[in-house]
Structure 1
């Protein structure tokens, strides 16, 4: 068996793992990033592309999203790659009194946390967005939210990490995590060069929906289940809007890209939906686009794809150290929000690893919050970033 050493091993080369490697490298720590395919190939490149701070479930997640947006603002310059990041805003629509009350309550929390949002009544909404389908009674708008191109971002971050000295091993499968006397000692992996025993005092597990597969080696379960997401892209269209627009009531979102195409996806699949995506599924979800913007109903769909989300019972990521196992860190279970949060998570996880104290609190993301009796309900997901 081949032998290696590394100061930090990161399992998973999605946007989260790549961002952690990048921020560690910026501080002179040359981590070894192990990716079973290529950086961003799975969930990160198939995301909706939303980068938002509004409509987060908790203050901790909202603060993390706001910190991540600060990283997004300089990402193109820092990586040397135009990742098509724009701050065109997000617009969350309400078609019922209950939904409008929910958005209004959120707005009070967001404003208290320093996030600038606006509530629009029905008249204001249709004055600004007359192209929307009828039936909405209000909306919440955040101007500082935006979008980026998921197919460009993670490769750019991984390449930037490599230029600073991080090692990125593609086509490398991690087959085990080793520990002794309550401490992480390394991992076992295999690739085209054979099997590897990699000694490392710190291991970051950022393998998304596949994170639980290795947790049994360590004697505990990580409460993450996979779920599918479906996205379609229209032909280029005349510019109609800049925002990422979504509605739980209509069950759909739409957002423009740099070419003028509109990306359309489902809002509201249940936790645990991981059946194979069928042609009927695709038709069902894409037909919902007219419920949001009637003009999209006639647009030709150029491409359809699906990805995999890593869902936790409360739709909140698992981040931080694992109690009772020194040197083991989790950064997974983003529940459809990893694309937006990823760069910020890279920064705060690198601070946790190197300094022991991140600049944004991770208290609300601990694995310990689930206790021993974990139940997955039929919670709803959005998966918009």
Structure 2
């Protein structure tokens, strides 16, 4: 209950008390391991889940799937994911062999829902294995050649299991990218996006609104990504009435949020879009959506800064980079951290580019004056 309510400290304490009383209770071990994995304590999560594997190696596919994400060694990760898939397939076969309820009954509907859920779960697991195999291989067409055929087979089965899932298509896009087939990769990524992404107002409408001055002042002229940065800065400054209204809207929109892929999946979507798509519009919208859900991840600010820079919005890019640096300081990341150095170099580069633009504009102004 504490975990469900985001009271992580209380949840951790409750799990520890339970395991102190029953250190070999599999339900507690698997629950604590998944809790640790979800809250970022990866090393401890792997230790707990490995203990659960020792106690019950032939049941419970979830612990193997988590371990596949947690361990650093790609061969061990592959071993865990394959084991998890084998257990899940066995469970599905057992379910299929059981007597089925009569058609049209509530029991039949529940059985169908359970079957669909298991198929969607197996779909995700197969995608996870394909991703592990792609990570294990070398970059480039030659590097992925040894695993390409199996990845194709895994992702093909995943698509058959859950046609509504965007995961297999995005993983296939990653494979095509590594094979050097960027056009095909982008086409597949767009198919994946079509299953969940709803574009915001198109650029023509936004330009019309800006021309009408609906936003007023400088805010009207800001590009979407820069506006996202400004909105994040202003978060929490609204009135109590506004906050209550937002809470009501959140409750109404719960069903829509549940239909979205995971935060991590959408972050990877934005990364792929930046690498494959000449336009940064869709990537920017995906990242802005992520910031609306959680504006404390410097990785998202870094990608959004790159989007702004790619779209020619240097001011917006600098704002995003500055927000990212603030978060790095709040997280107390060391000065030699890759994220910190990345933001610092980006800020320097952007400031130099903006200064260059000012000088060029000034020189152009002088040239026009001389002509007159």
Could you tell me the TM-score, scaled by structure 2's length? 0.21
- Flag the structure with higher strand content: 1
Between structure 1 and structure 2, the one with the greater Rg is 2
- Flag the structure with higher helix content: 2
Higher relative contact order (CA 8 A, sep 6+): 1
Could you tell me the TM-score, scaled by structure 1's length? 0.20
